[in-house]
Amino acid sequence: MATGRLGVVETLGALNAALGPGGPVWFKETRARHLRARDFLAPRRALQARFGDGQVPERVVHAVADLQGPGVAPVLRCAPTPAGLTLQLQRSAVFERVLGAVAAYAAPAAPASPGLRVILHCPALRGAPCALRLSQLRAVLVADHLARVLQAHGVSVRLVPAVRDPHMPTFLQQLRVDWPTASERSATEALRSSALAELTLAHDREVLPPGVLGRVCLKELVEERGRTAGYDPNLDNCLVTEDLLSVLAELQEAVQRWPEDSSLGLAAAPDAGADSCMVVHVVSCEEEFQQQKLDLLWWKLDSRAPLRQKHLVCGPVKVAGAPGTLTAPEYYELRHAQVCKASALKHCRDLAQDPAWTEIFGVLSVATIKFEMLSTAPQSQVSLGVPQDQGWGDRLCGGCPPSLQLCSIPQLFLALADSGISTKGTKSGTFVMYNCARLATLFEGYRRSMEQGLYPAFPPVSSLDFSLLHDEGEWLLLFNSVLPFPDLLSQTAALARTAPGLHITARTEMVCKFLVQLSMDFSSYYNRVHILGEPRPHLFGQMFARLQLLRAVRQVLHTGLAMLGIPPLSHI
């Protein structure tokens, strides 16, 4: 039997190569109605452009039908249709290959470039949480998510700045953001002294505002770097303060003194050098102008400043129904209060003071916020909504029956969805966590029934008959969620290191959108198909095949949540 991880990218590459010279033509189907008949399609119009009359040579059709190779999914049939050239995979064989090696599909498709080092700089973390604006909070969450994805790909990541405000670590812990705290300043002081000496020699003594050490003209550097790179043409002078030099010193130390990373097998690098790393400044749109000044000042004062400095600029966060001064902690408290209120509606009692629910409410609040902030591409605007009154939850139901079960419509999801919150992200975060809990409940139900003797122990995966998986929802889960997940992680971690210009984009919205769609597909399947059937031996084969599929779904879901810093929940 063939071994190795199957891949969508590898399969598409082989399909396009089989058509001969030219650009890519094939694409993967995702819609359920199309997947009933085909898994990949080469559209008729694209084939006409490739082959003139649109008639694909018979030898090419045979080459596609006989396609093989590392990572290439086994083909069942390839046939011309009015829509184009269609291809269907050997689905039972794909089920067997994928579900026989679940762990391989919950990891990135390929490691990043060997030795790649990335410094993620998030200026918003230099202040206090009470002053953190929502746009800055968004930048923090983007940086944290990007760090997790890059580290999963084997990239050595350093996070700057080290948090110094005494209240910030507690707030970041609430948000499940993993960020370093401040260490001793001894090395930083030495670097600041060096930069300050160079600054005072470079400028005449002049009357400057209090606290300002000197004035540096940046216009020459803007012209040298080229305005086409994306620097603001209005950049001219920069007033240098002790605080600004301290920022530069910390960045300089991050570049020159890379700590040992035993998990990646990287030795300490006392003088790694500017060319060995890439600096990505993750900033809100309001901070970008000041960060551009800082970039140019760094190049002006330090000949070893890294050449690859990129800006990942996060778009604004607009709030309807709330003052523009809403801070990040106030936003967290608002969402936390909504989660507690919605849970009280579901369970018909206030659980906010119950220690057993404290962790759950915290996780749900964070999931709500992160999906709300991260489901939109970083460079685009996020529009939030907040309830206009505190009686929003009272409109949802006239009283929840005490017998409400987890398998019924999730009242918590409905409450948040109808709370005046307008974005899909807020609804989605709660919905994803609800389905995460459903999966946990399913496997816990199997475990209890097994202990009671109703079901046998789970057999070896190699003995399962995956030809029993013939429901269209089962193929949808495998083909759209489990199989492409490694490629999705790789796309999320892809940074255009050598792309021209100052700005860089990142696909940090992909994981959230993926988990939402996965949850929708799983919910539809779970509501329609009874997984744990009656304890009859002739039904066990299909039950175990389905459970193995949902094991893979659970593994992918948990991995995706880990990339967001959200722990899975076993119940809500």
Residue 193 amino acid letter: S
Answer yes or no: is 102 within a domain. Answer: no
Q: Which residues pair with 240 in a beta bridge?
A: 214
Strands laid side by side in the 277-284 sheet = 156-160, 117-121, 277-284, 309-314
> Are residue 159 and residue 307 in the same domain, yes or no?
yes
> Which is nearest to 478 in space by CA: 139, 205, 90, 152?
90
In which band, very low, low, confident or very high, does the pLDDT at 339 lie, cut at 50, 70 and 90? confident
Summarize the confidence of residues 335-350 as an average pLDDT. Answer: 76
Cα–Cα distance between 109 and 476 in angstroms, integer?
Answer: 20
> Which is nearest to 509 in space by CA: 312, 279, 337?
312
pLDDT more than 90, % of the chain = 55
Answer yes or no: is 361 within a domain. Answer: yes
Count of the separate structural domains present in the chain: 3
Asked if residue 273 has pLDDT above 60, the reply is: no
Cα–Cα distance between 46 and 51 in angstroms, integer?
Answer: 9
Q: What is the CATH number of the domain that holds 296?
A: 3.40.50
Lookup result for tokens 């060997």: 114
What does DSSP say about strands 317-320 and 84-89: parallel, antiparallel, or unpaired?
Answer: unpaired
Q: What is the pLDDT of residues 347-392, one digit of tens each?
A: 656 666 667 778 899 999 999 999 999 999 999 999 887 554 433 3
Summarize the confidence of residues 159-167 as an average pLDDT. Answer: 93
Query: Of the segments 241-255, 349-363, 420-434, 547-561, which one has the largest average pLDDT value?
Result: 547-561
Answer yes or no: is 558 within a domain. Answer: yes
Asked if residue 469 has pLDDT above 90, the reply is: yes
Contact 43, 82 (CB under 8 A): no
Answer yes or no: is 354 within a domain. Answer: yes
Task: Tell me the DSSP string of 429-481.
Answer: HHHHHHHHHHHHHHHHHHHHHHHTTSSPPPPPGGG--GGG---HHHHHHIIII
Residue 409 DSSP symbol: -
Q: What is the pLDDT of residues 135-149, one digit of tens each?
A: 999 999 999 999 999
List, in order, residues 6 or more apart from 9 with CB less than 8 Å away.
71, 109, 487
Query: Could you tell me how far CA 300 lies from the centroid of its own chain?
Result: 35
Residue 265 DSSP symbol: T
Mean pLDDT lowest among 75-84, 87-96, 190-199, 232-241: 190-199
**Other beta carbons less than 10 A from residue 357's beta carbon:** 19
> Are residue 293 and residue 379 in the same domain, yes or no?
no
Cα–Cα distance between 247 and 263 in angstroms, integer?
Answer: 28
| Predicted local distance difference test score (pLDDT) of residue 394 | 34
Q: Please list the alpha-helical segments (H only) found in 126-178.
A: 134-152, 168-174
Q: Give residue 16's domain range.
A: 8-89
Answer yes or no: is 100 within a domain. Answer: no
Answer yes or no: is 101 within a domain. Answer: no
Q: Which residues pair with 79 in a beta bridge?
A: 86
> Are residue 446 and residue 342 in the same domain, yes or no?
yes
Give the angle subtended at the CA of 201 by the CAs of 199 and 206, to the nearest 5°.
Answer: 80
Mean pLDDT lowest among 102-111, 123-132, 447-456: 102-111
Q: Please list the alpha-helical segments (H only) found in 119-277.
A: 134-152, 168-174, 186-202, 219-225, 242-256
Mean pLDDT lowest among 10-14, 259-263, 418-422: 418-422
> Are residue 345 and residue 254 in the same domain, yes or no?
no
Q: What is the pLDDT of residues 479-495, one digit of tens each?
A: 999 999 999 999 998 88
Q: What is the pLDDT of residues 229-257, one digit of tens each?
A: 788 888 888 888 888 888 888 898 888 87
Residue after which a domain boundary falls, among 296, 319, 342: 319
Contact 506, 496 (CB under 8 A): no
> Which is nearest to 572 in space by CA: 454, 412, 422?
412
| Predicted local distance difference test score (pLDDT) of residue 499 | 75
Q: Phi/psi at 306 (nearest 5 deg)?
A: -65, 140
> Are residue 60 and residue 195 in the same domain, yes or no?
no
In which band, very low, low, confident or very high, does the pLDDT at 1 lie, cut at 50, 70 and 90? very low
DSSP 3-state of 181? strand
Summarize the confidence of residues 302-316 as an average pLDDT. Answer: 87
Summarize the confidence of residues 89-97 as an average pLDDT. Answer: 96
Give the angle subtended at the CA of 134 by the CAs of 133 and 139, to the nearest 5°.
Answer: 100
Residue after which a domain boundary falls, among 319, 352, 377: 319
DSSP 3-state of 404? coil
Answer yes or no: is 96 within a domain. Answer: no
Summarize the confidence of residues 7-24 as an average pLDDT. Answer: 93
| Predicted local distance difference test score (pLDDT) of residue 205 | 56
> Are residue 314 and residue 407 in the same domain, yes or no?
no
Cα–Cα distance between 557 and 551 in angstroms, integer?
Answer: 10
Asked if residue 3 has pLDDT above 70, the reply is: no
| Predicted local distance difference test score (pLDDT) of residue 413 | 41
Q: What is the CATH number of the domain that holds 72?
A: 3.30.1360
DSSP 3-state of 33? helix
Peptide bond preceding 161: is omega within 30 degrees of 0, i.e. cis? Answer: yes
Asked if residue 446 has pLDDT above 80, the reply is: yes
> Which is nearest to 102 in space by CA: 450, 458, 547, 434?
547
Q: What is the CATH number of the domain that holds 553?
A: 1.10.730.10
Residue after which a domain boundary falls, among 297, 319, 341: 319
Query: Could you tell me the two tokens for 331?
Result: 């936003």
> Are residue 257 and residue 233 in the same domain, yes or no?
yes
Contact 469, 546 (CB under 8 A): yes
> Which is nearest to 263 in space by CA: 358, 355, 157?
157
Contact 381, 395 (CB under 8 A): no
Query: What's the burial of 385, exposed, middle or buried (CB within 10 Å: 0-12/13-18/19+)?
Result: middle
> Are residue 383 and residue 529 in the same domain, yes or no?
yes
Query: Of the segments 199-208, 304-313, 388-397, 473-482, which one has the largest average pLDDT value?
Result: 473-482
> Are residue 345 and residue 403 in the same domain, yes or no?
yes
> Are residue 31 and residue 127 in the same domain, yes or no?
no
Lookup result for tokens 């003995």: 463
Asked if residue 317 has pLDDT above 60, the reply is: yes
List, in order, residues 6 or more apart from 178 with CB less than 8 Å away.
144, 147, 148, 172, 565
What does DSSP say about strands 237-241 and 212-217: parallel, antiparallel, or unpaired?
Answer: antiparallel
Query: Could you tell me how far CA 93 lies from the centroid of its own chain?
Result: 30
Q: Which residues pair with 503 in a beta bridge?
A: 311
Asked if residue 537 has pLDDT above 80, the reply is: yes
Asked if residue 265 has pLDDT above 90, the reply is: no
> Are residue 285 and residue 207 in the same domain, yes or no?
yes
DSSP 3-state of 232? coil
Q: Phi/psi at 181 (nearest 5 deg)?
A: -100, 170
Lookup result for tokens 């003209």: 217
Mean pLDDT lowest among 203-217, 524-538, 539-553: 203-217
Calculate the average pLDDT of the chain: 83
Task: Tell me the DSSP string of 95-126.
Answer: HHHHHTSGGGGGS-SS--STT-EEEEE-GGGG
Answer yes or no: is 98 within a domain. Answer: no
Summarize the confidence of residues 100-117 as an average pLDDT. Answer: 82
| Predicted local distance difference test score (pLDDT) of residue 206 | 61
Cα–Cα distance between 519 and 433 in angstroms, integer?
Answer: 9
> Are residue 364 and residue 507 in the same domain, yes or no?
yes
Q: Which residues pair with 117 in a beta bridge?
A: 156, 277
pLDDT more than 70, % of the chain = 80
Asked if residue 191 has pLDDT above 80, the reply is: no
Contact 462, 444 (CB under 8 A): no
Burial 240-249 (b: 16+ CB within 10 A, else e): beeebbbbbb
pTM of the model: 0.87
